[in-house]
Structure 1
Amino acid sequence: MSPIKTAPAALRADDEQLRARYIDEVLGLLYPGDSPAATGGPSVEYLVIPNARKPRLLVPADDRRVAAAAVRRYAEPQGRLARLKRDAVVTALRTGLSGLLLRDRLRIRPGGDTIDAYLDRALGPGLRLSVHIGPARANRKPVLQLLDAEGHTRAFAKLGTSALTRTLVRAEANALAAVGAAGLRTVQVPDVMHAGQWGEHEVLVQSALPVWRPRAPLTAPRLAAAMLEVARCCGTSHGTLAGSGYWTRLRERLAAVAGHAEGAALSSAAERIVRATGNVNLSFGSWHGDWSPWNMAGVEGAVLVWDWERFTPGVPIGYDALHHALQVGIGRSPSAGQAVNDLVAAAPDLMLPFGVVHRQAVEVTALLYLVDLATRYVTDRQAEAGARLGVLGSWLLPVLVARVEAL
């Protein structure tokens, strides 16, 4: 299947270029009415980490302690070299050598109500913020790390600034309330500290999970147990696919994208799945919706899990395990298409801890997960946003269609 025709030329731009372009957009949102800070009046100044060509983080330029802490808590480095680079930046900030290593700065003069002022009103004064610069995605939104004067991370704030991201921010607030009230013992989730509106933007502030606690090995059984706890947190049900509320909701989502080339292919694949396996009994529960290695951490006594904006009850149990395995596979496989094939092949072992052992139940759960994920991509218009895997015809759809035709 060929890539969608609506994919923009920006898909050919590399990730660094797209992140660099995003800086102006996000600062314009956070500091409306800004103008060049040449003379007079207070201004806001950020260091661009590591530089303006490869931006990942904006940190306050006027406070070395806060800036160093923001970099240190920004993300868990993947590998020794990445850790060494992170530590070098932290040391430069702490010692005052950042002027030599970190030369790119952004200075703006706010001309209206700023996000800093809003957060002061909502949470009290004294918090400083750093700004995460994420990859191009339809659901990309400003994510702010909030630190106190001592450099301790107190919270994270998300801003919904488009129709899609406003919906996702509200959904995450509701999800955290539901999951937080479920009495989880293995999984620890953030607390909602504030939810409100700043102008036309949705704002969600959530507590920082204790990622600084001693790490504990996140073995496959421990990970599966955490996912199973989430699957059961809002209750479970059992029944056939064809008679389930899940199938009703999925058909509605597919109907909404039927006019899209990929949407039509997905709808056809889903209908074929139901015709072939609609009488298979499945167990339904909740899933986190984006359980990826970068959205969790294993510490002593708990599995920390964040980014709950895709949390959904009433889906076939096992979706989280499939999603996690696919994200890991995409990072390791020679191609994303190969990762999808590997996922389907590994599904029997992935589903075993969830009690999904019947061959047809395993197969239909894996294929439905791929349909569900692909429907999300099309609905969100990820390709048009420049997302790296947004063009489904280049990786997911060919594998899915081939697997469904073999039913």
Structure 2
Amino acid sequence: MKTAPTELRAGDEQLRAQYVAEVLSLLYPGRGERAVEYLVIPNARRPRLLVPADDRRVAAAAVRRYAEPQSRLARLKRDAVVAALRTGLSGLLLRDRLTLSPGADTIDAYLGRTVGAGLRLSVHIGPARANRKPVLQLLDAAGQTVAFAKLGTSALTRELVRAEGNALAAVGSAGLRAVRVPGVLHAGQWGEHEVLVQSALPVWQPRAPLSAPRLAGAMLEVARCCGTGHGTLAGSGYWNRLRARLDAVAGHPEGAALRGAAERIAGAAGGVELSFGSWHGDWSPWNMAGLAGAVLVWDWERFTPGVPLGFDALHHALQIGIGRSPSAGQAVSELVATAPDVLLPFGVVHRQAIEVTTLLYLIDLATRYVTDRQAEAGARLGVLGSWLLPVLVARVEAL
């Protein structure tokens, strides 16, 4: 992704540091005599990952296996940290540690009872978002990644964790061939928190070139996995569900603007014929990996059946555009301009269907941002009026 402006980066770093304390107090409540110690990667000022401080092999594996960096520079930095951990130089280069003395009811104890004894944890520290949640990598004593666990700790994230469990059950039984998804190892509650443990996809394996046709084929497989349908926008279940979501945020200034845009689309193009299927909901470059035999796809918490075909392709294109364009607003404009090519593999070829599908995707995404209160949570793109809404409103008014 394109880096944020300096002031936004500084704010995000501060929020991440605050979040570390919140997460650890949640994972290790109470007070006891046994000490738990984590190394902060890369440091306490810019925390990204917490790894066990008492086992160099597990700590190095946790850094190496968590995710594949998106740039060459990021990979070099990751490899330097791994080398420091493996050789014992981490004491010189990685000085920031966090020590806790929790009670007996910790997340380690819960996962030991439900998943398996002897597992070690690393903790991912993500950017500020309304849907941010503790994500844990579970490793065995040999440093092999066994699973990933997600915890829903708020009303929104509990709902998302449950939704992802249901989504994985649905797509996991759909007989996908091109796409490989995690399996559900455990779903339950730890106190008031929702817990989902998923098998680890082999993201550390060598990547294979992922051509545009192969990517579109994987997205089509997901689109068809729960069946497809055809009909007008105005007569679709999708329109009814979207309208209900928009009604729920109509009191928000941006929600009111979105509802007005949606109603204008329905009035001008409600009779347009569309095809409907499922979408992953957040198919972005960092939620997937292309291997020789399959496309690995994770983070299924936004999976939804019955949406216009092509939503995943539009979302993927927009995320790439945001990373490459000078501004997010320009990325939206470029998405609208390139939509005919993006949607072609999905059979969306008529001009009005292309335009309606693209505008509905933008409204759908924006409605999610408002519903989740991303702006209030400090998300970098949470303020829709600064990038998405101006383009959307202008295009809708031109219908």
Deviation of 1:213 after TM superposition, in Å, equals 2.8
Greater shift in the superposed pair: 217-226 or 80-89: 80-89
**Separation in structure 2 between the aligned mates of residue 85 and residue 123 of structure 1, nearest angstrom:** 32
Match of 1:371 among 339, 342, 363: 363
Q: Higher relative CO (CA 8 A, sep ≥ 6), structure 1 or 2? A: 1
- Consecutive aligned runs of 4 or more in structure 1 exceeding 4 Å deviation: 10-13
CA contact (8 A) 1:45 1:62 kept: yes
Q: What's 1:393 paired with?
A: 385
Question: Hey, what does 2:396 align to over in structure 1?
Answer: 404
Residue 30 of structure 1 corresponds to which residue in structure 2?
27
| Corresponding position of 1:287 | 279
Q: State how far apart, in whole Å, the 2-side matches of 1:215 and 1:86 are.
A: 17
Q: Deviations over 1:291-322 (max 9, x none)?
A: 00000000011000000000000000000000
Which SS does the other structure have where 2:66 is aligned? coil
Give the deviation of 1:13 after TM superposition. 5.4
From 118, 139, 143, the counterpart of 1:151? 143
Match of 2:308 in 1: 316
Is residue 2:115 matched to residue 1:118?
A: no
The equivalent position to 1:108 in structure 2, one of 100, 109, 124, is: 100
Cα distance, 1:84 vs structure 2 = 1.2
Q: For residues 60-85 of structure 1, what are the alpha-carbon distances to aligned partners after superposition, in whole Å with 9 as ceiling and x for unaligned?
A: 00000000000001221222221111
Q: Does 1:213 align with 2:205?
A: yes
> Corresponding residue for 1:19?
16
Normalized against structure 1, the TM-score is what?
0.95
Task: Tell me the SS of whatever aligns to 1:242.
Answer: coil
Report the Cα offset of residue 111 of structure 1.
2.5
Is contact 1:11–1:387 with CA below 8 Å preserved after alignment?
A: no
Moved more, 324-333 or 69-78: 69-78
For the 8 Å contact 1:213–1:300, the answer to whether it is kept is no
TM-superposed CA distance for 1:18, in Å, is 1.1
**1:140-165 deviation per Cα after TM superposition (whole angstroms, max 9, x unaligned):** 00000000011010100000000000
Displacement of 1:34: 4.5
Q: 1:92, 1:98 within 8 Å by CA — same for their partners in 2?
A: yes
Distance 1:17 1:310 in 2: 28
Question: In 1, distance between residues paired with 2:164 and 2:77?
Answer: 33
The 1:276/1:34 distance shift into structure 2, 3 A limit, reads farther
Work out the CA distance in 2 between the residues paired with 1:81 and 1:215. Answer: 17
2:85 to 84, 93, 115: 93
Q: Is the 8 A contact 1:190 1:207 kept in 2?
A: yes
Letter in 1 for 2:17: A
Corresponding residue number in structure 2 for 1:61: 53
Once the two structures are superposed, residues 198-229 of structure 1 have per-residue CA deviations (whole angstroms, 9 ceiling, x without a partner) of: 00000000000122333210111000000000
C-alpha distance in 1 between matches for 2:335 and 2:22 = 37
Letter matched to residue 224 of structure 1: A
Q: For 1:200, give the aligned amino acid.
A: E
Tell whether the 8 Å contact from 1:11 to 1:386 is kept in structure 2 after alignment.
no
Structure 2 gaps of 5+ residues are: 1-6
Is the alpha carbon distance of 1:12 and 1:333 closer, same or farther for their aligned partners in structure 2, counting shifts above 3 Å? closer
In 2, Cα distance between equivalents of 1:182 and 1:79:
34
1 CA distance for matches of 2:133 and 2:38? 19
2:127 aligned with 1:135? yes
- Partner of residue 4, structure 2: none
Q: Secondary structure at the match of 1:32?
A: coil
**Matched residues in 2 for 1:53 and 1:44: separation?**
20
What do you get for the CA RMSD once the two structures are aligned? Answer: 1.1
User: 212-221 vs 226-235, which deviates more?
Assistant: 212-221
Q: Report the Cα distance in structure 2 between the residues aligned to 1:34 and 1:162, rounded to whole angstroms.
A: 23
Partner of 2:346: 354
Q: Distance in 2 between matches of 1:268 and 1:11?
A: 31
Residue number among 262, 285, 288 corresponding to 2:254 in the alignment: 262
One-letter amino acid of the structure 2 residue matched with residue 129 of structure 1: L
Counterpart code for 1:131: V
Q: Contact conserved, 1:72 with 1:90, CA < 8 A, in 2?
A: yes
Contact 2:67 2:203 in 1 (8 A): no
Aligned to 1:189: 181
Instruction: Give the whole-Å Cα distance in 2 for the aligned partners of 1:276 and 1:326.
Output: 25
- Relative to the length of structure 2, the TM-score reads 0.97
2:330 maps to which of 318, 330, 338: 338
Counterpart residue type for residue 272 of structure 2 = V
Q: Percent identity?
A: 85
Structure 2 residue identity aligned to 1:288? H
Residue deviations 1:103-155 (CA, integer Å, cap 9, x gap) = 00000010241000000000120110000000000000000000001101010
Contact 2:68 2:204 in 1 (8 A): no
Are the aligned partners of 2:67 and 2:204 in contact in 1 as well (CA < 8 Å)? no
Q: What is the aligned partner in structure 2 of residue 38 from structure 1? A: none
C-alpha deviations, 1:249-286, integer Å up to 9, x for none? 00000000000000000000000011111000000000
Question: Per-residue deviation at 1:12?
Answer: 8.9
